[in-house]
């Protein structure tokens, strides 16, 4: 496992994201509620650049005729066909067996690092 430091924390303010390339992999890096998340920039449906998609929220499970919106800023919608994924986990909203890869993130001395395996 190696940590690849890609940005200063000042370069990624709260609520923003960017796409970085590490060892040839495109990775979306998100700053969400004080934490950082790294998501593979690849949609498991047809391979779209997932992290170019809109970031928003979703309707939460609720009773019939109840509509509760939540997870604002935590859901990315694929720009090609609209599949939605939780940025924190990489899991799709409609089937928890469908996911895109996530990577651990470390912050050291004001630098954001993405942890890659072999």
Q: Given the rule CB under 6 A, which residues bind ligand FES?
A: 43, 45-46, 48, 78, 80-81, 83
Buried b (16+ CB within 10 A) or exposed e, 16-46: ebeebebeebebbbbbbeeebbbbbbbbbee
Q: How far is the CB of 101 from ligand FES (least distance, A)?
A: 14
Q: How far is the CB of 28 from ligand FES (least distance, A)?
A: 13
Which one, 45 or 71, has the nearer CB to ligand FES?
Answer: 45
- Cα(68)–Cα(75) distance, integer angstroms: 15
Which one, 78 or 114, has the nearer CB to ligand FES?
Answer: 78
Q: How far is the CB of 48 from ligand FES (least distance, A)?
A: 4
């Amino acid at each position: 496992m190696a940590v690849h430091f890609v940005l200063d924390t000042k370069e990624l303010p709260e609520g923003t994201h960017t796409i970085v390339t590490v060892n040839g992999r495109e990775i979306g890096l998100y700053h969400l509620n004080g934490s950082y998340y790294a998501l593979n920039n690849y949609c498991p449906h047809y391979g779209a650049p997932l992290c170019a998609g809109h970031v928003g929220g979703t309707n939460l499970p609720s009773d019939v005729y109840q509509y509760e919106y939540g997870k604002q800023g935590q859901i990315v919608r694929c720009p090609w066909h609209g599949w939605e994924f939780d940025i924190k986990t990489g899991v799709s909203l409609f089937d928890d067996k469908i996911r895109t890869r996530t990577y651990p993130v470390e912050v050291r001395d004001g630098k954001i690092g993405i942890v890659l395996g072999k």
